[in-house]
Structure 1
Amino acid sequence: MGNGPASPEAAPWPALEYEEQVWTPSTTWGLRAADAGRLEEPYLAAVPPLIADAVPHPSAEAMESARRAEAELSRFDAELGDRIGAFAPILLRSEAASSSQIENLTASARAILNAELGVTGKRNALEIVANTRAMQAAIRLAESISAETILEMHAVLMAESTAHRPGQWRNEPVWTGTRSDSPVGAEYVAPRHGRVPELVDDVVSFLRAEAVPPLVAVAVSHAQFETIHPFSDGNGRTGRALAQAVLRHRGVTRNIAVPVSAGLLANVEGYHQALTEYRCGNVSPIVEAFAAASLRAIGNARQLVQQVQSIRDSWPQRLKVRRSSNAWRLLDVIVRRPVLTAAVAAEELGVQTPNIYPALRALGEAGILRKKDEYRSGPFWRSDEVLHAVDAFAERAGRRSA
Structure 2
Amino acid sequence: MTTIISVPPTLVERVGPLATALPPAIARLPETGITYPFDRVPPQRMGFGAALVEAVTSSRIEGIDVSVTQAALAILQPRYALVTDAGRAVAANFHAVTDALAGVARYDDHRAAHDRLMKGQHTPAFAGFRETFVRVGDHVAPAPRRVWELMVDLAEFTSSHQSTVVNAALAHAQFETIHPYADGNGRIGRALLVGALGAPVSPWLLMERPSYYDALRDYRLGDAGPLVELVAAAADHGFDINEETDDCQPDLDGLSEEALDVVARLHERPVGTRRRMVPAGSKRLSAGFSELIAREQVVAVSDDCGLDTVYAYLPVVLTWLRLAPTGRVQTHYSGKWKREIRV
Q: Is residue 141 of structure 1 aligned with residue 103 of structure 2?
A: yes
Q: Return the offset for 1:345.
A: 3.5
**Cα deviations by residue, 1:126-171 (Å, 9 ceiling, x for unpaired):** 22111101111222235x8353x21011112111345453541111
Counterpart in 1 of 2:333? none
- Partner residue of 2:54 out of 76, 88, 95: 95
Contact 1:11 1:283 in 2 (8 A): yes
Distance (Å, rounded) in 1 between the aligned partners of 2:323 and 2:74: 19
SS of equivalent to 1:97: helix
TM-score, normalised to structure 2's length? 0.82
Q: Distance in 1 between matches of 2:157 and 2:148?
A: 14
Code of the residue aligned with 2:268 in structure 1: it is R
Which residue is 1:244 aligned to? Answer: 194
Aligned equivalents of 1:228, 1:221: Cα separation in 2: 11
* Distance in 2 (alpha carbons) for counterparts of 1:155 and 1:377: 35
Note closer, same or farther for the CA distance 1:301–1:140 as it changes in structure 2 (3 Å cut).
Answer: closer
Distance of 2:84 and 2:208 partners within structure 1: 26
CA–CA separation in structure 1 for the residues paired with 2:243 and 2:107: 32
Q: 2:36 aligns with which of 52, 55, 67?
A: 67
Is 1:57 the equivalent of 2:57? no
> 1:293 and 1:145 mapped to 2: Cα distance?
20
Correspondence for 2:314: 384
CA, structure 1 residues 331+357, in 2 after alignment: closer, same or farther (shift >3 Å)?
A: same
- Residue 98 of structure 1 aligns to a residue in which SS? helix
Q: 1:374 to 1:260 in 2, by over 3 A?
A: farther
SS at match of 2:228: helix
**For the Cα contact (< 8 Å) 2:262–2:288, is it kept in 1?**
no
Structure 2 residue 22 is the aligned partner of structure 1 residue 47:
yes
User: Given the alignment of the two structures, is residue 176 of structure 1 paired with residue 176 of structure 2, yes or no?
Assistant: no
Q: Which amino acid aligns with 1:201?
A: V
Residue identity opposite 2:98 in structure 1: Q
Give a deviation string over 1:248-292, Cα, whole Å, max 9, x none: xxxxx4xxxx21221222211111111111111112221111101
- The letter for the 1-side match of 2:62 is E
Alpha-carbon distance in 2 for matches of 1:345, 1:332:
11
Q: Where does residue 207 of structure 2 map in the other structure?
A: 266
**84, 108, 114: which is aligned to 1:154?**
114
Q: Which residue of 1 aligns with 2:13?
A: 19
Q: CA deviation at 1:331?
A: 2.0
The aligned residue for residue 290 of structure 1 is 231
Give the CA deviation at 1:105: 1.9
1:6 alignment partner in structure 2: none
Q: Against the structure 1 CA distance between its residues 92 and 354, is the aligned structure 2 distance closer, same or farther, given a 3 Å change threshold?
A: same
- The answer to whether the 8 A contact 1:96-1:132 is kept is yes
Change (3 A) 1:213 1:113: closer
Which residue is 1:234 aligned to? 184
C-alpha distance in 2 between matches for 1:299 and 1:55: 31
Unaligned runs of 5+ in 1: 1-8, 23-41, 78-83, 178-186, 248-252, 347-352
Residue matched to 2:323: 393
- Aligned equivalents of 2:313 and 2:203: distance in 1? 23
> Which of 71, 75, 85 is residue 123 of structure 1 equivalent to?
85
Compute the displacement of 1:55 (Å): 2.1
- Cα separation, partners in 2 of 1:266 and 1:320, compared to 1, 3 Å: same
Q: 1:319 aligns with which of 234, 243, 255?
A: 255
Greater fraction helix: 1
Contact 1:229/1:235 (8 A) holds in 2: yes
Counterpart selection for 2:289 from 352, 363, 368: 363
Q: Judge conservation of contact 1:223–1:278 (CA < 8 Å) in 2.
A: yes
Please state how far the C-alpha of 1:57 moved relative to its aligned partner: 3.3
Residue-by-residue CA offset, 1:290-346 (whole Å, 9 max, x unaligned): 10111233345545555x22x2xx23x24214xxx5x54432331232113345336
In structure 1, give the amino acid aligned to 2:286: L
CA contact (8 A) 2:165 2:232 kept: yes
Q: Which secondary structure state, in structure 1, belongs to the residue aligned with residue 132 of structure 2?
A: coil
- Counterparts of 1:11 and 1:262 in 2: how far apart (Å)? 24
Aligned residues: 321
Q: Please give the alpha-carbon distance, in whole angstroms, between the structure 1 residues aligned to 2:284 and 2:24.
A: 63
1:208 aligns with 159
* Partner Cα distance (1:330, 1:172) in 2: 52
Does the 8 A contact of 1:262 with 1:398 survive in 2? no
Kindly provide the amino acid, as one letter, of the partner of residue 155 in structure 1: D
Instruction: Give the alignment's Cα RMSD to 1 decimal.
Output: 2.9
Look at both structures and tell me which one has the larger radius of gyration over its CA atoms.
1
Change (3 A) 1:374 1:170: farther
| Correspondences of 1:71-82 after superposition (within 5 Å) | 71=40, 74=41, 77=44
In the alignment, structure 1 residue 339 sits paired with structure 2 residue 292: no
Is 1:192–2:143 an aligned residue pair?
yes
Contact 1:13–1:56 (CA under 8 A) maintained in structure 2: no
List alignment gaps of at least 5 residues for structure 2.
331-343
Q: CA deviation at 1:108?
A: 1.5
